[in-house]
């Protein structure tokens, strides 16, 4: 096994190569963005192309052919893909994130997923809305689980329910065939193409013990996967770093909106009060100011969050556990970056003109998508700031971090 792992690791591409590959998809993603919205899911052929390019195995353990990159890779990939299509970037980022989450499970569970299909994708929902009953060898679960992004392109799902006997919240891993999908459950104005539908199982089905983990073990870093040699991924706690998969696409959407704004304003002619005279929109100082202000917001958000996450990755690679303050700094950086991205798009949208609301125009899609994305509970900047403030005052933070 170690020889196979060494061979896989030696074939690991550099992040610069991965980012260059992701960047090459931007025109195609932009071209297909309307189709993605209309189908209310990322087209399967698009996800397959991203997979063939190696863009869906960033955070998969190396022993299963993955690149085993850390959360900062999610930021960088999401930023690139988000410039073309926010929905596809969201799903690609989450697919990679869920491969990282799968490293929390025992090796047997990971083999269940990738042993038969090395390219298997995993969808997941962490809200414990299901029901479970302890039975011999595992649990029987049933229920409805909303917001399963990219579920129709995924081969496995993990869902959540409260464990019996006050054992806390459990995450249950099962093949996609054990679930149905509520096709009427994702009717939204933003991120229409993520396919974040409700998966459900009306009839209880069996999940063996080795495919069940406890959320408390995730939070304190004692998941079964942590006992697997030579895999750093389980050290990254979901509640601290998970939103890296979300804020990268937000920043990418903002960058895509900026690129569109600059291109359009450079080409757009605006009439003046003088007959036969028109001015290029880019000559307007207020248009220039909007572009400059938005670019600063995006760069401030990306620079801060990327540098902070990379700093914490270095600490974890050294074998040192993160303090509460350090984990909180990750949450603060993610929240700040999300806020900057939304602000940038709002600045641009306000100056883009009425024509930017046409459904064929990328600007209005970036605007709708980024506001939908920013509504995710993991990116609630006010809640994050409250947690940071509690820490600064020496209090125990009252929320996930």
Q: What is the CATH number of the domain that holds 61?
A: 1.10.540.10
Looking up residue 205, the CATH number of its domain turns out to be 2.40.110.10
Query: Domain tally for the chain?
Result: 3
Q: State pLDDT tens for residues 295-316.
A: 999 999 999 999 999 999 999 9
**pLDDT at res. 281:** 85
**Which H/E stretch holds residue 122?**
strand 122-124
| Per-residue model confidence (pLDDT) at position 7 | 39
- Per-residue pLDDT, 116: 86
Specify if 225 maps to a domain: no
- C-alpha 128/C-alpha 66 separation (Å) is 29
pLDDT tens for each residue of 25-46: 999 999 999 999 999 999 999 9
pLDDT of residue 360: 87
Q: 269 and 379: one domain?
A: yes
Q: Are residues 316 and 248 in the same domain?
A: yes
Residues 256 and 347 in one domain: yes
pLDDT on residue 276: 54
Cα dihedral 311/59/9/77 (nearest 10): -70
DSSP assignment, residue 130? B
Pairwise CA distance, residues 353 & 363, whole Å: 10
Q: Identify whether 231 is part of a domain.
A: no
* pLDDT, average across residues 129-149: 97
Query: What is the pLDDT at residue 5?
Result: 47
Residues 266 and 376 in one domain: yes
Q: What is the pTM of this model?
A: 0.93
Between CA 50 and CA 56 the distance in angstroms is 7
Question: Of 219, 246, 276, which one is at a domain's C-terminal end?
Answer: 219
Same domain, 188 and 278: no
Distances (CA, A) of 250 to 24, 35, 196, 358: 19, 20, 17, 21
Asked if residue 189 and residue 134 are part of one domain, the reply reads yes
Domain check: are 371 and 300 in the same one?
Answer: yes
Domain C-terminal end among 114, 130, 157: 114
Q: Is 245 part of any domain?
A: yes
Percent of the residues in the chain that have a pLDDT greater than 90, as a whole number: 87
* Residues 73-87, mean pLDDT to the nearest whole number: 98
CATH number (domain holding residue 316):
1.20.140.10
Residues 95 and 150 in one domain: no
Q: Which of these ranges, 276-280, 377-381, 396-400, has the smallest mean pLDDT? A: 276-280
User: Which residues face 175 on adjacent strands?
Assistant: 156
**Parallel/antiparallel/unpaired status of strands 156-162 and 122-124:** parallel
Q: State the chain's mean pLDDT as an integer.
A: 93
CA distance linking residue 222 with residue 229, whole number of Å: 14
Domain span holding position 183: 122-219
């Amino acid at each position: 096994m170690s020889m196979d792992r060494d061979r896989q690791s030696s074939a690991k591409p550099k992040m610069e190569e991965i980012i260059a590959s992701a960047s090459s998809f931007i025109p195609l993603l932009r071209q297909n963005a309307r189709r993605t919205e209309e189908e209310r899911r990322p087209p399967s052929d698009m996800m397959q192309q991203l997979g063939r390019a190696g863009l869906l195995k960033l955070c998969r353990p190396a022993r299963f052919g993955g690149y085993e990159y850390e959360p900062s890779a999610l930021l960088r990939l999401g930023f690139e893909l988000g410039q073309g299509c926010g929905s596809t970037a969201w799903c690609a980022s989450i697919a990679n994130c869920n491969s990282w989450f799968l490293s929390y499970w025992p090796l047997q569970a990971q083999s269940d997923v990738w042993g038969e299909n090395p390219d298997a994708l995993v969808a997941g929902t962490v809200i414990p809305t299901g029901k479970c009953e302890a039975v011999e060898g595992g649990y029987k679960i049933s229920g409805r689980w909303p917001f399963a992004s990219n579920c129709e392109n995924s081969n496995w799902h993990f869902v959540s329910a409260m464990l019996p006997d006050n054992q806390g919240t459990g995450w249950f891993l099962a093949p996609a065939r054990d679930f149905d999908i509520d096709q009427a459950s994702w009717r939204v104005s933003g991120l229409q193409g993520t396919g974040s539908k409700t998966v459900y199982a009306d009839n209880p089905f069996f999940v063996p013990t080795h495919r069940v983990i406890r959320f408390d073990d995730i939070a304190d870093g004692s998941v079964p996967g942590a006992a697997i040699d030579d895999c750093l991924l389980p050290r990254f706690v979901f509640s601290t770093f998970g939103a890296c998969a979300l804020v990268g696409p937000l920043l990418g959407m903002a960058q895509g909106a900026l690129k569109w704004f600059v291109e359009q304003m450079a080409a757009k002619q605006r009439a003046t009060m003088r007959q036969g005279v028109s001015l290029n929109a880019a000559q307007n100082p207020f248009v220039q100011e909007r572009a400059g202000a938005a670019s600063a917001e995006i760069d401030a958000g990306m620079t801060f969050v990327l540098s902070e996450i990379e700093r914490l990755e270095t600490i974890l690679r050294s074998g040192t556990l993160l303090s509460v303050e350090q984990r909180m700094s990750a949450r603060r950086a993610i929240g700040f970056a999300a806020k900057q991205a939304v602000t940038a798009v709002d600045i641009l949208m306000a100056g883009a003109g009425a024509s930017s609301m046409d459904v064929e125009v990328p600007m209005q899609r970036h605007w709708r998508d980024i506001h939908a994305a920013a509504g995710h509970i993991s990116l609630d900047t006010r809640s994050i700031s409250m947690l940071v403030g509690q820490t600064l005052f020496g209090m125990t933070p009252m929320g996930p971090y």
